[in-house]
Amino acid sequence: MISIKNLTKIYRTPIRGKHFVTDLFNHHYKKITALDQVSFEIGQNELIGFIGPNGAGKTTTLKILSGILYPTSGDAKVLGFTPFDKKPAFLKQIGFVMGQRNQLIWDLPAVDTFVLNKEIYDVSDQDYQKNIDDLISILNCRDVIDKPVKTLSLGQRMKMELIATLLHRPKLIFFDEPTIGLDIFSQEAVRKFIKTYQKEFKSTIILTSHYLEDVKRLAKRLLIINQGKILYDDDLKTILEKFGGGKYVTVMLEKGVDQNLLTKIGAPITNQFPKVVYRVKRSDIPQTINLINQLLPYSDLTVEDERIEEIIKKLFGK
């Protein structure tokens, strides 16, 4: 469905000189490599989590894949099309949700944008009604579609944005930070929506987010990008096995114990009574638990994988 090879995008940005008057006559630019020989493939019905720090190249990749930006070099094929050709047959099959942008007409009810998109995407009256009903029912937002957009909360606007983008049932959807700025309830609603939508309509989805929770909850495959290069492209589970060197053992103590006793098990990474946390190699888990049973009075004991946030931090550190 998506195949990109050696995709490179270089932005040219002006450099401010020492004096604003001489700047008018001497233009200097610097080149910023947003994508550097990026290659990957994505198959049908996949839901990909695409993460990286600010300026890593996530949004640039999505914009090239959707035909908004022209790549400096490399090949991109999406649904059999070259995106920048902007063929209507291609654009009708994609949808782009941008968390920080909106397509809704500010002064008018969201339903006016839906009607406009119905014409833009050549959706039949029958399909329009069915798709709108389906989306409204998943998002539970029937009462807001007739209210002017400017009167809606951010969460409600995002729901309207999702309907506007998806009412033509795109095969491929780009979600660029769809939960940014939303409260935890709205974030949860958007996550739930994406999961339900993908399950029901078998779309291919690429999701970028700063909230790792979004990716952990939704994606099976993870693409990690930093400084324009792909650092990781594999299953979400595999990253834990490959790069997660250990597990976290959390002990909730019943009563205070001597520090020497605690260090007999290992050096705790957190020690705030009653909570003590150890980072332990996978192979040492049985031995550590035995020791804890013998030495510590505890009310609760949990063993967790290393947090994905930590693993990704380590990857970026490389």
Partner 1 sequence: MKNFKLFFLFSRNALRTTLQARSGVWFFMIGKICRFAFFFLMILLIFGKTKIVRGYSLPQMLVFYLTFNLIDTTAQILFREVYRFRYQVISGEFDLTLAKPFHPFVKILIGGVDFLDLLLLIPYLLLTLHFAWQTHAVTAFNLVAYFVLLFNSLLIATAFHIVVLALGILTTDVDHTIMIYRDLTGMARFPMQIYQEPLREIFTFIIPVGLMMTFPSQALFNLLKPSFFALAFLISFTMIFLSLRLWNAALKKYQSWGG
Indicate whether 240 belongs to the interface with partner 1 (CB under 8 A). Answer: no
**Looking at 39-47, 89-97, 192-200, 258-266, which segment touches partner 1 (CB under 8 A)?**
89-97
Q: Which of 23, 36, 46, 112 binds partner 1 (CB under 8 A)?
A: 112
Q: Which of 33, 45, 102, 271 binds partner 1 (CB under 8 A)?
A: 102
Q: Which of 31, 101, 275, 281 binds partner 1 (CB under 8 A)?
A: 101
Q: Which residue(s) pair with 62 in the sheet?
A: none
**Looking at 22-30, 87-95, 269-277, 300-308, which segment touches partner 1 (CB under 8 A)?**
87-95
Q: Which residue has the tokens 């233009």?
A: 27
Q: Give the helix/strand (H/E) hosting 276.
A: strand 275-281
Judging by beta carbons within 10 Å of its beta carbon (0-12, 13-18, 19+), is residue 100 exposed, middle or buried? exposed
Judging by beta carbons within 10 Å of its beta carbon (0-12, 13-18, 19+), is residue 159 exposed, middle or buried? buried
Indicate whether 91 belongs to the interface with partner 1 (CB under 8 A). Answer: yes
- In the bound state with partner 1, the residue whose beta carbon lies nearer, of 29 and 273, is 29
Q: Are 171 and 153 in contact (CB under 8 A)?
A: no
- DSSP 8-state secondary structure symbol assigned to residue 265: H
- DSSP 8-state secondary structure symbol assigned to residue 144: G
Q: Which of 43, 80, 88, 297 binds partner 1 (CB under 8 A)?
A: 88
- In the bound state with partner 1, the residue whose beta carbon lies nearer, of 88 and 297, is 88
Pick out residues in 48-67 that bind partner 1 (CB under 8 A). Answer: 59-60, 63, 66-67
Rounded to the nearest whole angstrom, what is the least distance from the CB of residue 305 to partner 1 in the complex? 32
Q: Are 62 and 94 in contact (CB under 8 A)?
A: no
Taking alpha carbons only, the member of 206, 141, 193, 240 closest to residue 2 is 206
Taking alpha carbons only, the member of 88, 64, 63, 78 closest to residue 3 is 78
Rounded to the nearest whole angstrom, what is the least distance from the CB of residue 150 to partner 1 in the complex? 9
The site for partner 1 (CB under 8 A) is made up of: 11-12, 59-60, 63, 66-70, 84, 86, 88-92, 94, 96, 98, 100-103, 105-108, 112, 115-116, 119-122
